[in-house]
Amino acid sequence: MLETKIISNSEVLYVVGGDDGDKSPGTNERGGLIKSWVNSMRACSPTRPKSFNSQSCWIKEHPSALNMFEDILHQSEGKQIVMFLDYDGTLSPIVDDPDRAFMSKKMRNTVRKLAKCFPTAIVSGRCREKVSSFVKLTELYYAGSHGMDIKGPEKGSKYIKENQSLLCQPATEFLPVINEVYEKLVEKTKSIQGAKVENNKFCASVHFRCVEEDKWSDLAHQVRSVLKNYPKLMLTQGRKVLEIRPIIKWDKGKALEFLLESLGYDNCTDVFPIYIGDDRTDEDAFKILRDKRQGLGILVSKYAKETNASYSLQEPDEVMDFLERLVESKQLRCGA
């Protein structure tokens, strides 16, 4: 039985409080609720760098994974690398229309080569079927809906036993309510130009990248008007997106742990997970790796952000360069 518990107060933006009223980290008065939401929406979606000194200090704490590549190789020496990759903003550029977030052919070829060298998983907030249709590689593990929908490779992977199937869906009971909330959100937000609601199976996403900033408060009001009637759901945030998710103890960090266990690497000292992501929801996975002092997290960002990741890359092109270098190093070791 899954424990129903808030994932992380640093990530959760809003939880229905039942008899005690609405609960939102950082505010105790209902009047300040929407304002706190909008402030969080701005904080999660920086559009300009901080001061030079702040940015410089941040880079020292989270150096480029490309510049530190030899150091990373040294850390992983003698260990099995396992790759975990977010999709949007990591393998594909962030775009205005989430339905057109296509990865390049060159990136797909890089990920294909990567999966031949290391067990590789895509961990995304997207519906698993949708992110799989974007990536178009059957040899990967896919964890959609922020890790609430996990499926193993269909074919072509040497890291899964023959006839072994892998499927994990810890939030199945929430499917009807997520569909219901999705329909209501579509209706409530249709008057707000640029807003787009996406059904990601075990969560619903409200994209506001194309919404004028002076309308964010209106959008927050509409989202709250729906969510306040669903005490088993919560609101979290990402890059120009609000996420409505079940209140269960499951996230991208739990998905990482589940996949490592499924691969036979739980409680192993000779495994080196590398997780690359750009979103606030990836912090759960970064934190798992940091707390265990196992492997490392790499944040994809041009701007300084609070993060549990050890290293940084600025954009998907740098991610591709890093992955290519990993493949080349593996091939050199194997004499390929």
117 occurs within a structural domain = yes
Give the angle 146-292-111 at the CA atoms, nearest 5°. 50
Best mean pLDDT range from 14-28, 32-46, 258-272: 258-272
47 membership: H or E segment, kind and range: none
Per-residue pLDDT tens digits for 60-80 = 999 999 999 999 999 999 999
21 occurs within a structural domain = no
What six digits make up the tokens of 208? 């506001």
* Closest listed residue to residue 252, CA positions, set 41, 42, 11, 3: 11
8 A C-beta contact, residue 268 and residue 85:
no
Per-residue pLDDT tens digits for 205-258 = 999 999 999 999 999 999 999 999 999 999 988 888 999 999 999 999 999 999
8 A C-beta contact, residue 88 and residue 101:
yes
67 occurs within a structural domain = no
285 occurs within a structural domain = yes
8 A C-beta contact, residue 278 and residue 86:
yes
- Given the residues 22, 86, 99, 317, the one annotated as active site: 86
Please indicate, yes or no, whether residues 179 and 327 belong to a single structural domain of this protein. Answer: no
List beta partners, residue 88: 92
Task: Give the end of a domain, one of 224, 246, 268.
Answer: 246
Q: What is the pTM of this model?
A: 0.87
Please indicate, yes or no, whether residues 136 and 218 belong to a single structural domain of this protein. Answer: no
| Residue 238's CATH number | 3.30.70.1020
Please indicate, yes or no, whether residues 267 and 280 belong to a single structural domain of this protein. Answer: yes
Q: Which domain holds residue 200?
A: 12-16+34-40+172-246
Please indicate, yes or no, whether residues 156 and 256 belong to a single structural domain of this protein. Answer: yes
Please indicate, yes or no, whether residues 261 and 330 belong to a single structural domain of this protein. Answer: yes
Please indicate, yes or no, whether residues 157 and 256 belong to a single structural domain of this protein. Answer: yes
Q: Report helix, strand or coil for 8.
A: coil
Catalytic residue status for 71: no
